Amino acid sequence: MNQYEVSVSRVIQAPPAAVYAVFADYHHSHAAVLPKPYFTEMTVEKGGTGAGTEITVHMAVMGAKVTYHMVVTEPEPGRVLQEEDKALGVVTTFTVDPVHNGEASRVTLYTRARTSAGLKGFIEKLITPPISRKIYNEELDLVEKHLTTVQVA
């Protein structure tokens, strides 16, 4: 199968429960940490917190526009949150592990996605991972900023 995988990890100075809560809250926190201009819109279609949530996400990257219809599951509640668009063959996981006696969190964003066939798929495999890493690093920056703002407020 033609696919690519991309992963970014970072330690964030916040307890795992607080970090996980950001990703699980699709109405407010998760929407707030999606980097613009890549994520142009996110609509909660069903639920809104953790497993059972269904969202529609519009992205624009390098002139290409894509719409994802993601279903959220929690393979390991409180640790692993997963979004999947079965039709497009995209799975993204948000994994939050405790470090420093639970005072901080190692956060890993991981995506596995199907690519097109042939030359187009080869090009997607070359350019998509570095762009995705840039977007994920921006998202983790926003998570840190969001948690700092929430803790101060």
What pLDDT sits at residue 152? 46
Tokens of 76: 């390991």
CATH number of 3-152: 3.30.530.20
Helix, coil or strand: residue 64:
strand
**d(Cα 105, Cα 90) in Å, to the nearest integer?**
25
pLDDT tens for 59-88 read 998 888 999 999 999 999 999 999 999 999
- What are the sequence ranges of the domains in the chain? 3-152
Write down the pTM of the prediction. Answer: 0.93
Q: What is the pLDDT of residues 84-141, one digit of tens each?
A: 999 999 999 999 999 999 999 999 999 999 988 888 888 888 889 999 999 999 999 9
